[in-house]
Chains A and B, each alone.
Chain A
């Protein structure tokens, strides 16, 4: 990916690109989270899985296939978003997926949330945001 030098005159255009990129990444996180739920649903249907039978299930289990298709779609969209935006801005947005997955897990699988788990997720999201600050522009 080529990174052209950006002059001050391009600032408004950059801001518009940025919000477009952020919107796209939010969509990515939602797709990714939906994918995770499908993958978990698929994993739950596996009976006495071995590594090999799990590998084969990627090609035969509709839920796993659907989950990983969403994941692939998310990856493609993310690459498009990266063309428009700075990684340092987009990275923290990506970690939103941890929040969606936690919420959806409670809804679909009756996971139990507690303060420690929530604190952990918030800490991870913060960590990814801080880490992303130093990503290439």
Chain B
């Protein structure tokens, strides 16, 4: 059973939304002080969780058809989005290791995609 391209795109969309959620969690977590009470009042954290839940919808729709051994590794693309958000919003620098890791992940995704038959 070959995994449909549509399923792959849905999973990739899920990983994209999930990485936005992670970005908001990071932004919210940086302002965490004053106890658990504030955890629920923090709109960035709430938005982060909402994006995570939202990202699960395309993900579940995506993995319904096709092989999990192809679709699950695609989630690793979220690492790459996370690096991009970290660069843009948190001013974290791209280092040699980050770029190398990024290239390896992309290459790995390419191999998994090519192995989809």
Do A and B interact with each other, yes or no?
yes
Interchain CA distance A75-B108 in the complex, whole Å: 25
Whether B84 is near chain A, meaning CB under 8 Å from some CB there, is: no
Contacts of B111 in A (CB 8 A): 116-117, 119-120, 123
Q: Please, which residues of chain B bring their CB within 8 A of the CB of A95?
A: 76
* Chain A residue, CB-CB nearest to B94: A134
- Report the separation of the CA atoms of residues A120 and B61 in the bound assembly, to the nearest whole angstrom: 23
Counting chain B residues whose Cβ lies within 8 A of the other chain, the interface size class is 35 or more
Q: A55 and B57: CB pair below 8 A? A: yes
A87-125 contacts to B, CB under 8 A, are: 95, 98, 101-102, 105-106, 109, 111-125
User: By the criterion CB–CB under 8 Å, are A124 and B104 in contact?
Assistant: yes
List of B residues within 8 angstroms of A122 by Cβ: 108
Interface string of A52-88 (1 = CB under 8 A from B): 0011011000001000100000000000000000000
Residues of A within 8 A of B97 (CB): 130-131, 133-134
Verify if B79 is at the interface (C-beta below 8 Å from A).
yes
**Residues of B bordering A, CB below 8 Å:** 53, 56-58, 60-61, 63-64, 67-70, 72-73, 76, 79, 83, 95, 97-98, 100-117
Chain A residues near B (Cβ < 8 Å): 36-37, 39-40, 42-44, 46, 49, 51, 54-55, 57-58, 64, 68, 95, 98, 101-102, 105-106, 109, 111-134
